[in-house]
Each structure stands twice: as structure tokens, then as C-alpha cells.
Amino acid sequence: MGNCPGKKKSELEDVKVGTRYLAQLPIGDSVSFKGAKVDPDKHNALIIERSGVLAAYNVFQKWDYSDGNINEDLALACFPGIITGYGLNFNLRHNDYYGADAVVLTAASSKVSLALAIYLRHNSEEYPSTNKKIIGYTSESNKEFCQKTGLYDEVLGYEDTLKPLTGATKSSFVVIDTSGKGSVYEQNSKEDNVKIVKLLSVGNASGTPDKQSTGSSFSIVSTFKLILGILGAPRFLLSWLNPTLEIYFIALDLDELNALWGKDKAKATQDEYTKIFCGVVDKNKWISVRTCDTEESIQQGFSDICQGNVPPSETLVLEMTQALEHRKL
């Protein structure tokens, strides 16, 4: 992001041509970098000024993996899911899995669930491999992919219900819901021998209509906590409210890691987990990267994404700058 098509130098004094930045952008026609500044307190992130959008959209993180020990395209394409999985791994472990006997991940083929499952299986001195059973929910078309990863002890279809663990008459579960399918909670909450102690809602990858989505089961307390989170209420107040179903706010976990470890260690640990994800995926050849670097291939790639034609075994990198180099500004 440090250079533009047709430009040979950067118009920002602190940004060299070729510097890469990572950001999540709402759909729009353009992004203005007038008044942009590099913030050394945020690991040299590029801060831009745009009113009317969430603050997170105004922070461009500097991409500094240049040691050749990581698949950059894979890391870039999977970045949001990798970091969400990283935050959830911290959340589950530091909350002792909310007392659950097993962890359930919906949208098991998504980057969020794959990353979280990898981190739960990862063995380190600080975070040993979990002894909790990991169960994945996915669509019928993605079952084989999820089973082949070996990350899940059991892979279920969305019409299936949870069962007590072997030898138990009743079991408790913590659900990380990325699919947004309300049926997962609804059908399992009716099972006498199944108890969902916590459901963290991450997204709605399935595009389920609001009335059938997980959000439709939110209680008044869940909604109140959501509003307080959006307004930036103190963490102690949010933790005091403890509904069974709630929205997951990764920013709270990242802030806690910064406070616990310090910003430098927290950033280094986050980078290390990115490398862990890419290393495991690369080694097992679970996901290939399709690079779209022409206008035609970008149009096709974007169409495939919108129409749901990209399988979980593939991810796309749209090289906009390279594709548009022939244009003159």
C-alpha cells in the first residue's frame, strides 16, 4: 500500500515505496491518505483520517514478514481469521473453557475455526495442547475437507445434535459460532443431556436471515452487553454481565494481552501464531492460493467470492496494484 499504480515515489514522508499495509476496508470508491501519519506506538501503523467509520478501519497495520519463513500470500488472505482464532484461543484458555467438557466450532471449514483448532491443538509451554474434545459443524459439501484436516474429533452436519461425551450422561459445551446458524443453539438447547454453557457469536458466514440467525436468540442482557461494548464500556462492567449467548469482541482480548504481556511481547506472540497457522496449513497442503493479478482474473475471482464458488481448500489474493500498473493516473 506504500505505492500506487504509475507512481515511483511515496507522497508520505514516513512511508517508503513498496511498504505493505494490512487493513479492513468498508466497501467504497476510494480511500484518501491525506493527513495520514505513522504511529510508532502502534508498531508503525499508518493512521488515516476518516469520519463516520469505526476506528479499526482507520488503522493500517504494517506488514513486516520479510524473513522468507512464511507464506505471505496465505497469511495476508487468511489474516482476519488467523487473528480472530488467536484471540479466541486466548479467551477460551483464560476463561478455563467456561467450564465446558468440549469445544464446538461452527463453520468448521472457515479460517477462524481452522486457526482456532490449530492453536488449541498446538503444544507450547505457556499453552499446552488442549485435552478438550473439539467438534466441528459444517455443511455437507465441506465435511470431507474438515475431516481430512484431522483437527476435529467429530464433524457434524447442521442438522445433527450434540451428544454427551463417551461415558457421560450429560456434557457441557462452549460454542464458537462463526456460521450464524441459529439452529445450532436452538436444537441443542432442547437436548436434555446437553448443556451449552457459553456461545460466542463471531459472525454469520452462512448468510442466515436475521430471524433464523443466532442473534435472534440473544437475551435482553446479551443485547445490552452488545450495546455497552459498542459504546466502549469498561471491561469490568462487561465481564459482570455474563449471558450464555454474546457477541465476541476481539479488541477486548487484544487489549488484555497488551496489558498482560506488554505491547512488544503481545505483537511478537501474535506474529508467531500467524507463522504457526501458515506452517501447519502449508505443511499439510490444506489450502492453495489463487493469485489474481490481471483485471480479468480479479473480476472472475471477485465473482467467485460473491457467488460462493470458492471452496475452503482455496483462498484468493487480488493483486490490484499489479493489475492496474498499466493505467496512468
**In the chain, where are the structural domains located?**
1-64, 72-263, 287-329
Q: Check if the beta carbon of residue 220 is closer than 8 Å to that of residue 234.
A: no
Burial class (CB in 10 A: 0-12, 13-18, 19+), 38: middle
The CB density around residue 33, as the number of other CB atoms within 10 Å, is: 16
What CA–CA distances, in Å, run from 241 to 222, 224, 245, 297? 8, 9, 11, 48
Report the distance separating Cα 265 and Cα 203, nearest Å: 28
Assigned CATH topology for domain 72-263: Rossmann fold (3.40.50)
pLDDT by 10s per residue, the chain, length 329: 334 444 556 666 777 777 777 776 655 556 677 778 888 777 777 888 776 666 666 777 777 765 567 888 888 888 889 999 999 999 999 999 999 999 999 999 999 999 999 999 999 888 999 999 999 999 999 999 999 999 999 999 999 999 999 999 999 999 999 999 999 999 999 999 999 999 999 988 888 999 999 999 999 999 898 888 878 788 778 888 889 999 998 888 988 999 999 988 998 899 899 999 999 999 999 999 999 989 899 899 989 988 888 999 999 988 877 777 777 55
Give just the sign of the alpha carbon dihedral 216, 80, 206, 164: negative
Nearest to 22 by CA among 42, 1, 53: 1
Report the distance separating Cα 128 and Cα 105, nearest Å: 19
**In the chain, count of helices (H) and strands (E)?**
10, 12
The CB density around residue 181, as the number of other CB atoms within 10 Å, is: 23
* pLDDT tens-digit series, residues 185-238: 999 999 999 999 999 999 888 889 999 999 999 999 998 988 888 787 887 788
235: left (phi over 0), alpha (psi -120 to 50) or beta: alpha
Q: Helix or strand or coil: residue 282? A: helix
